Amino acid sequence: MIDFRAYFAGALFVTGVLVGSVVGGTPPVHAADQIPSNNAEIQLSFAPLVKKVAPAVVNVYASRTVERRQRISPFFDDPFFRRFFGDRAFGEPRTQRRVQSSLGSGVIISGQGIIITNNHVIENADEVRVALADRREFDAEIVLKDERTDLAVLKIDAPDEDFPHVSFANSDELEVGDLVLAIGNPFGVGQTVTQGIVSAVARTQVGVSDYQFFIQTDAAINPGNSGGALIDVHGNLVGINTAIFSRSGGSNGIGFAIPANMVKVVASAAGDGDYVRRPWIGASLQPVSSDIAMGLGLDRPRGVLVTRIFPDSPAEQAGLEVGDLIVAVGENEINDPNSFGYRLATREIGSSATLRVLRGQEEVALTIALQEAPETVPRDMRQIGGRSPFAGATVMNLSPAVAEELRVRDEYEGVIISQVENGSAAQYVGLRRGDIVVAVNGVEIESAQFLQRVSRERPRRWLIEIQRDGKLRRLSVRG
């Protein structure tokens, strides 16, 4: 640990500030009376810290091969013309292949070569290589990708190696004003270290992942730093550098890092499988506005308001009620749904959490079980073919588990579109992944199997009702 007392003493010596005061006849102590006796007492350097941590920060190179078809006719990609004239009318395609590459950073968290980076660094990659600080390069396997947190786990296949690695800090203990270092490979210039402070914690309005709960820092973070380390003055990992706020593309002193406590959850999940299991409580929540706070008799907006409880859910079993105001999870205060989601997501499946709830003028404590979202009905995935507006769409029965996978909030029943093929009729009429099919031609859609049967009909006009982002939409399509 770096001793900052020598730095302050040196600063006082340079500026000639008078230290102390006359209290009870005690004479003042001048800075000149505290002259440093050697260089170590006046020199502040992060060099020992960097030497310890830098070997565990790697460069990540991801590449993928992209094929692009070219047609003589500009109408080839129009589903309307393809439907009536077929592919042959536009001639044989010419295929061009090119390699796209991306550059980022990563952090080794285990001597066995386990690496954490950002998902957007290696997304859709066919090949991933990592370069260590000592310039050795290795192929890396993608063990887990988690879009919801924008994190990914890589593994270097070198069983005989004992790689340098960093330890996790408890990011909940981080405070505004703490010194931090950012290490990564900005703009591909090579490993670079920048220093700053924690500007804010628990930033929830950044909008770069589902779990918006970020550490903000003024340590310079630039393109290429993504996936790199944010470390504290003890050399422990407090976050993974992920995003910047910038109008120019360069650092403006506003960078964001995913807290280490969330990183640990994803790293742990990689040892258990290929996806992250998250707690589900079965309740819909709403942020508290100023008007709602006034109506509840609060002095300020805080907490999250429970607006819906799903039957047989952990929320119902815990005794949570519609109208309850959740103000804390354990000792951590809650200010919005994002912070509530983060506090649950960083706890283990199978454990429990204590919720502090305001119910009227009374505060109660409820213990809620943290379980994985259940698949209450078989998903029964089906791909729709034929000539209907649903052709090219893959649909399945909706359940809490499916809703979690497709990142749909607060809807756990019905039939949902999980995929739409490019150039298909479904894409042409405007259907999207995540749309819930409510009704077709006035008939309520109860299951994926029923929707597939309905799609075989030949009406003159299709009247489709879907739910998207909580709003009902109606589509009218000629048959």
Catalytic residue among 226, 339, 418, 447: 226
Classified as helix, coil or strand, 102 is strand
Contact by Cβ (8 Å): 198, 215:
yes
Catalytic residue among 102, 105, 146, 150: 150
Measure Cα distances from 147 to 13, 119, 208, 375, 422 in Å.
52, 6, 10, 21, 21
DSSP 28: P
Q: Mark residue 439 as left, alpha or beta (left: phi above 0; alpha: psi -120 to 50; beta: remaining).
A: beta
165 labelled binding-site residue: no
Angle at 161 between CA 159 and CA 166, to 5 degrees: 115
120 an active-site residue? Answer: yes
Could you tell me the two tokens for 161?
Answer: 């190696």
Residue type, 164: P
30 labelled binding-site residue: no
To which residue do tokens 């119902």 refer?
316
119 labelled binding-site residue: no
224 labelled binding-site residue: yes
**Domain-by-domain residue ranges, the chain?**
5-44, 56-273, 279-372, 382-478
Tell me what pLDDT residue 37 has: 67
CATH class of the 56-273 domain in this structure: mainly beta
Q: Can 56-273 and 382-478 be said to share one CATH topology?
A: no
Could you tell me the two tokens for 434?
Answer: 């995540």
Tell me what pLDDT residue 8 has: 25
Contact by Cβ (8 Å): 380, 448:
yes
Measure Cα distances from 182 to 49, 57, 75, 192, 240 in Å.
12, 10, 49, 8, 9
Tell me what pLDDT residue 271 has: 82
Of 441, 442, 444, 394, give the one whose Cα is nearest residue 416.
394
* Ordered per-residue pLDDT tens for the chain, 479 residues: 333 222 222 222 233 333 333 344 445 444 445 666 666 655 678 899 999 999 999 999 998 876 665 555 554 555 544 445 555 555 555 666 666 677 899 999 999 999 999 999 998 888 999 999 999 999 999 999 999 899 999 999 888 899 999 999 999 999 999 999 999 998 888 899 999 999 998 877 665 566 678 999 999 998 889 999 999 999 999 999 998 876 666 777 889 999 999 999 999 999 877 788 999 999 999 999 999 999 888 889 999 999 999 999 999 999 999 999 999 999 999 988 889 999 999 999 999 999 999 998 899 999 999 999 999 999 999 999 988 999 999 999 999 999 988 988 888 889 999 999 999 999 999 999 999 999 999 999 999 999 999 999 999 999 999 999 889 999 999 87
The fold adopted by the segment(s) 279-372 is Pdz3 Domain (2.30.42)
Catalytic residue among 105, 120, 324, 336: 120
DSSP 92: P
Classified as helix, coil or strand, 346 is coil
Contact by Cβ (8 Å): 257, 227:
no
150 an active-site residue? Answer: yes
To which residue do tokens 């008799």 refer?
297
Write down the CATH superfamily of domain 382-478: PDZ domain (2.30.42.10)
What's this model's pTM, rounded to 2 decimal places? Answer: 0.78
Residue 97: other Cβ atoms inside 10 A: 8
225 labelled binding-site residue: yes
Tell me what pLDDT residue 385 has: 92
Tell me what pLDDT residue 417 has: 97
131's enclosing H/E stretch is strand 127-131
146 an active-site residue? Answer: no
Tell me what pLDDT residue 470 has: 85
Strands 229-231 and 332-333: unpaired
Please, how many CA atoms are within 13 Å of residue 325, restricted to the half-sphere of its CB? 21
CA distance 390 to 134: 54
Q: Mark residue 326 as left, alpha or beta (left: phi above 0; alpha: psi -120 to 50; beta: remaining).
A: beta
